[in-house]
Structures are given as C-alpha cells and as structure tokens.
Amino acid sequence: MMKKFLSLALLTALLLSLAPASLAQTPLPADRLVNLEHNAPNTGKMLPQRFDPYQNTYLLTVANWVSRITFTPTTAASNAVVTVNGQVVASGQKSQIIQMTDDPQAVQITVSVYGEGNMLTAQNTYTVYLQRRPSERRTRVSAGYITAIDMSDGIATISADLVSIKYQDKSNISTFVNETVYLYKYKTAPNCLFYYGTKHNPVRAVNAQEFYNNYLNTGSNLYYLVYIEDEIVAVMPYAAD
C-alpha cells in the first residue's frame, strides 16, 4: 500500500513539474509577433502597456517634441514576412522612420506567412494608433456617463454626458474635470479597445457588440473615453484614483 502511494505521489509530482514546461513550449501561430518595440520608451505611453501577441490594437502617445518613430517587430516564425505601413522589415530590425505630425496616424504592422508556390497561408495585422500629446486635436481622455450606444454594421456610436465628475469609492474621493464639450457623440474606431467590468478588474470585449451586451453588468455606466480627433479608440471603466 505504501509503495502504491509513493508511486502515485511521484507520478503527480512529475506531471506538475512537466506542466509549466509544456505550456511554455506551446508555439505561437506563425502570423503572430513575439514582441514589438518602439524607439521612444522614455516618452512613449502605450495602451495596453505590454505587448501581447494576441492583442491586435494599441494606442501610443509620445511627447510633443518627438518627430520620428520606428518600430522593431520580432516574428514568431522564421518564414514570416513583416511589413510596416507596406514596407518590409526584417525580424528584430528597426522599421523605416515614421514622421510625426500634429495629425493622428494609424500604423499597420502586417505579418504574412507563405507556403509552397509562394501562396499566402496566414496573415495578421497589428494596428498602432500613433499621436503626440497634448493638443486639442491629439489624443484626449475624457470621462462621463454613457447615455446611449447605437450599433450599426458592428460599429458603435457612443453618446456620453461629460460633465465634471466627483466620484466616491468608500473613503476615497476622486474628481475628474473634462476639458471638452458637455454633450459627446462620436463613433468608435473599427479597432477600438472595449473594456467593461471595473477599472481594477477590466474585461476585454471581443467587439463593440459584446461591450454593448455587458457594459451595464456592474450597475454603472461611468467610463473613460480615449479618442483621437472625432473617433473613439478606447473605452474603459472609470473608478476613483
């Protein structure tokens, strides 16, 4: 009986020790990047903050004096071809220079995989919304109560009341003053990032429809709205600082 117990214990320990290694060795799809870096780590603020191979949309704001941005993509597969705004970039190497202006830009980083006969077998595109800060025409963050969401062809149009907010969470009082119009109604970008739930436990929605189905689940319609020009690029739950 003791030998049987020891054998089971040893088998369990072996399986547990092998599990993390097996998970760690799970390869990424060939059309994904392992990493994506930019050349403004000191002033650049990325949302989300860390690169995730399965996260296809990012928002990068840089200081208003930054004039040139480059990206360094690293592929998961050696036979993958990466282009940055249509120009081929070798894995692990810097891209061409993207000149910054006062206008927002969308940088397209596409990973393509080719098979026999140079046939395209897989393709994936990462979009990085790029802009200087701050300016009335650049990336802005507001907060307010979402009053209506209209869906059309998978794109959401959000109406929000952007009054100044005094929000109390237990003993913590937070004040958010919006520097924009009182009534706000804009469409979301095709690759807009949607999060519902709470600020400390956000849930990433797959698309605008999933966000629409879930945004009132916590009993609050108070959200941060991140937008460039007249297009919303991110929606996140608001909470006290």
Query: What pLDDT is stored for residue 176 in this prediction?
Result: 52
What is the torsion angle, in degrees rounded to the nearest 10, for the CA atoms of residue 50, residue 44, residue 38 and residue 139? 90
Mean pLDDT check: name the lowest of 48-62, 82-96, 125-139, 195-209. Answer: 125-139
Query: What pLDDT is stored for residue 127 in this prediction?
Result: 94
The pTM score is 0.51
Q: Whole-angstrom Cα distance, residue 26 to residue 74?
A: 17
Average pLDDT for the chain = 78
Question: By C-alpha distance, which of 236, 240, 132 is closest to 176?
Answer: 240
Q: Whole-angstrom Cα distance, residue 105 to residue 84?
A: 13
Query: What pLDDT is stored for residue 177 in this prediction?
Result: 54
Domain ranges of the chain: 33-133, 140-237
- Cis peptide bond prior to 27, omega within 30° of 0: no
Structure tokens at 180: 């924009």
Query: What pLDDT is stored for residue 77 in this prediction?
Result: 93
Amino acid type, 216:
L
Structure tokens at 48: 């989300």
Q: What percent of the chain has pLDDT over 70?
A: 76
Query: What pLDDT is stored for residue 114 in this prediction?
Result: 92
Reported as a single tens digit per residue, the pLDDT across 186-216 is 888 888 889 988 877 888 898 888 998 888 7
How many other C-beta atoms can be found within 10 angstroms of the C-beta atom of residue 83? Answer: 16
Q: Judging by DSSP bridges, how do beta strands 57-63 and 120-133 pair with one another?
A: parallel
* Per-position b or e across 185-214, b if 16+ CB within 10 A of its CB: ebbbbebbbbbbbebeeeeebeebeebbee
When pLDDT is cut at 50, 70 and 90, the band that residue 131 belongs to is confident
Residues 169/198, Cβ–Cβ less than 8 Å: no
Question: Is CATH 2.30.30 correct for 33-133?
Answer: no
